[in-house]
Amino acid sequence: MIGVDTNILVRAFLEDDYEQAKKSQNFLEAYSQKGRIFISSYTILEFFWVLKTKKYTRSEIYDAVITFLDSPRLIVGQREVVLTALEKYLKGKADFGDYMILSEGEQYNCYHLKTFDQDLINESSFISLPD
């Protein structure tokens, strides 16, 4: 198994640098035939931020990331946390990073979150401002 950094995924997806896009796409295709590729949950988070800054919609970002999660040749770190956060992101208004925090906490039975993020507070009675 080999891991990939965010820039490999971004170049392959965006195709905004021809040379790097081709190298990234060729590597991902060739290596996925030989072995599995590891994508860290932090890589997914950075990938989200890049697509968001490029003005991709929530639905487009969801579709891009779900492709990684559905691929049998790609191993995504904290897959269930990422998947839960992804589902919340598609339906909600807060940032993906906030949903990652919330989803990872839920994995450890932490169901109350204190934050100043109003978009996240509006999602649940278990999310609130600090006292």
pLDDT value at residue 84: 96
Give 105: exposed, middle or buried? Use CB within 10 Å, 0-12, 13-18, 19+: middle
Q: Give the SS3 label for residue 20.
A: helix
Q: Give the SS3 label for residue 75.
A: strand
pLDDT digits (tens, 9 = 90+) for 18-45: 999 999 999 999 998 888 999 999 999 9
pLDDT value at residue 82: 98
How far is the C-alpha of 4 from the C-alpha of 43, rounded, in Å? 8
Q: What are phi and psi of 81, to 5 degrees?
A: -65, -45
| pTM across the whole model | 0.89
pLDDT value at residue 130: 87
89 pLDDT higher than 80: yes
